Structure 1
Amino acid sequence: MKILLAVDGSTYSKKMLAYLSTHEALLSADHDYTVFTAAAALPARARAMVDKAVVESYYAEESEKVLAPIAKFLLRHGIDAKTSWKVGPAGSLIAKTADSGKFDLLVMGTHGHSALANLVMGSVTTQVLAHCKVPVLLVR
């Protein structure tokens, strides 16, 4: 199975990994894993004030801070996962990556906000569920 793990470096991503580690059917060397994170875009004014290479380096460094510990965790479990990141709104990027990569399953942690909080603030999870055609496993 081809599985996309959407992460953001939060405790919710760590809880998702803990959940996977207790379910052998989900965390197995038999599957093909990609760990994905979305980096928030810097404001246009900030990007305009520095060289493009500096901005790209910043995005790469920030994404690596999120991806490296998870890749290390998976390696300890015998899984050599691919890593990927893109810059932009997390919800739509996760959904697009899951769909375009032809993944069989998307796994992500969720903050577990109430319906009212989602209505007022919006939610990455809500955006993913609205736009993703791939089955999604949410770990609360």
Structure 2
Amino acid sequence: MHNVLVPFDGSASAKRAVQYLVDFSKVYPDIQVHLLNVQREPNLYGNYVPASMLDDLRKGAIQHAEKVNREAALLLEQAGISHQSHVAVGDVVTEVVAAVKRLGCNTVVMGTRGMGSLGNLVMGSVATRVVHDVPVPVLLVK
């Protein structure tokens, strides 16, 4: 069985990665897809932030991640592909590596251009970092 992790951020590139798997499943129907949307930790400035505010920000981030994943889950569901949706808050690459290990994924399929920030130009793209950090093959979809 192909146990695939799809880091999904809702970008056009990520949607193409999901469509690739839909097409792939027509030839290789024995596939399990794990969608993962990772939201970054909120950037807070100041000396004091109430714990309740931090909780609200994290809850909002998780709700947004679930909403983003729903679009991809619908495509997979319509194609009859077995899938699970996962969300996390933290560093994208760290969470992708952890999910690969935790979920026993044997492949990562992801888009080459996501909704990253200008920092990606300086530090290297998330896709490049994933390729170097995960212990399984990575298929990048343009």
Secondary structure, in 3 states, of the residue corresponding to 1:108?
A: strand
RMSD: 2.5
- 1:36-90 deviations in Å (ceiling 9; x for gaps): 1110110133892561441232022110121111111111011241111111111
Count of residue pairs brought into register by the alignment: 134
Counterpart of 1:122 in structure 2 is: 124
Deviates more, 1:126-135 or 1:42-51: 42-51
Counterpart of 1:56 in structure 2 is: 58
* TM-score normalised over the length of structure 1: 0.82
Distance 2:43 2:15 in 1: 28
Counterpart of 1:76 in structure 2 is: 78
Counterpart of 2:32 in structure 1 is: 32
Distance 1:109 1:80 in 2: 20
Confirm or deny: 8 A CA contact 1:92 1:127 kept in the other structure: no
Confirm or deny: 8 A CA contact 2:35 2:83 kept in the other structure: yes
Unaligned runs of 5+ in 1: none
Distance 1:110 1:49 in 2: 37
Confirm or deny: 8 A CA contact 1:38 1:85 kept in the other structure: yes
Distance 1:11 1:34 in 2: 18
Cα distance change, pair 61–119 in 1 and its aligned pair in 2 (3 A): closer
Unaligned runs of 5+ in 2: none
Confirm or deny: 8 A CA contact 1:99 1:134 kept in the other structure: no
- 1:19-52 deviations in Å (ceiling 9; x for gaps): 22232245x3x22221111101101338925614
1:99: how far off? 2.5
Identity %: 28
Counterpart of 2:5 in structure 1 is: 4
The list of structure 1 runs, each at least 4 consecutive aligned residues, that deviate by more than 3 angstroms after superposition, is 44-47
Distance 1:15 1:129 in 2: 18
* TM-score normalised over the length of structure 2: 0.81
1:94: how far off? 0.9
